[in-house]
Amino acid sequence: MFLDHFVKIFEKKFSEEIFYLVTLSSRVVFPLFIFLITWNYLFNTRNKKNYLMRLWIFALLSQPFYYFAFENTNYSQMNIFIDLALGLSFIYLMEKTWHKIESIKKEIFKTGLKIIFVYFFIILNILFFFLEKVYDLLEYSFWGIWTFLAFYFLIKGLSRNKKKLWQIIFSTLAILLSLFFLNYQSGLDYAVATLALIPLILPAFLIKIKIKRMNKYFFYLFYPLHFLLIKTLFLFFS
């Protein structure tokens, strides 16, 4: 991530080959963040609401640093943690709504509400897809949200004692599709490079390694401050 932002801010200082190699190899960073945030949300946090709120606060506080770093450039108007906070919000609201439906005692009402909820959720995703096409505010648009949902259902499905094969197959296909289209607008080579995330996260599923959560304060501070550092260096050497 640091190198990706560094070459983008210092774009004219690097050859096309170096710029291409660094940006290409960095395509796994955003989906890797999605995977880690989803994993932490499910297994490494005691209060999901507070976890989501911290992510939003951190994303919004980072935005002025992002604007400062990328002013007068052609890059996205929002930093990627806006995408991450929005994606996790979808999951949080989906979970809360589903749990409330599950608490209803009468099965006929419960089944009816589940059907309505699924249709509403599909329509909401379609609406978001077209709105993002029009306004183009987020860096990874609709596919960032879809990647969040796919990882959530896959991790959730594999963590159950009674695994549902259809859920695992559907989630896996959804992940492959979303990873491919995350960077497809930048070219087929960037889309294929994003799929390199699969071998990076595969051990977490195959051998069930325990993923520890890094120090949150370092994580929250590094992101905005690295923009400040790179831009300061750019202004100094310019």
What pLDDT does 94 receive?
87
- State how far the Cα of 147 lies from the Cα of 220, in Å rounded to an integer: 22
pLDDT category at 77 given cuts 50, 70, 90 is: confident
* pLDDT greater than 60 at residue 209: no
Mean pLDDT value of segment 225-238? 87
Q: What is the dihedral of CA 160, 164, 167, 173, to 10 degrees?
A: 100
- State how far the Cα of 145 lies from the Cα of 143, in Å rounded to an integer: 5
Most confident by average pLDDT, 28-42, 70-84, 210-224: 28-42
Residue at token pair 């695992």: 168
pTM: 0.84
- Indicate if the alpha-carbon torsion angle 164, 170, 174, 175 is positive or negative: positive
What pLDDT does 215 receive?
67
Per residue in 94-138, pLDDT (tens digit) is: 888 888 887 777 777 777 777 777 777 777 767 766 665 555 667
* pLDDT greater than 80 at residue 224: yes
What pLDDT does 205 receive?
65
What pLDDT does 72 receive?
64
Cβ-based neighbour number of residue 85 at 10 Å: 20
Mean pLDDT value of segment 171-184? 83
- Indicate if the alpha-carbon torsion angle 211, 184, 132, 219 is positive or negative: positive
Per residue in 60-75, pLDDT (tens digit) is: 999 999 988 887 666 6
CA-to-CA separations, 175 to 66, 99, 124, 152, in angstroms, rounded: 28, 24, 19, 10
What pLDDT does 108 receive?
72
pLDDT category at 139 given cuts 50, 70, 90 is: confident
Q: Which residues contact 30 (CB under 8 A, 6 or more apart)?
A: 80, 83, 139, 140, 144, 182
Domain count, the chain: 1
Mean pLDDT value of segment 189-210? 74
What pLDDT does 167 receive?
73
- State how far the Cα of 46 lies from the Cα of 146, in Å rounded to an integer: 25
Domain extent at residue 141: 2-237
* pLDDT greater than 80 at residue 208: no
pLDDT higher for 77 or 55? 55
Mean pLDDT value of segment 174-198? 82
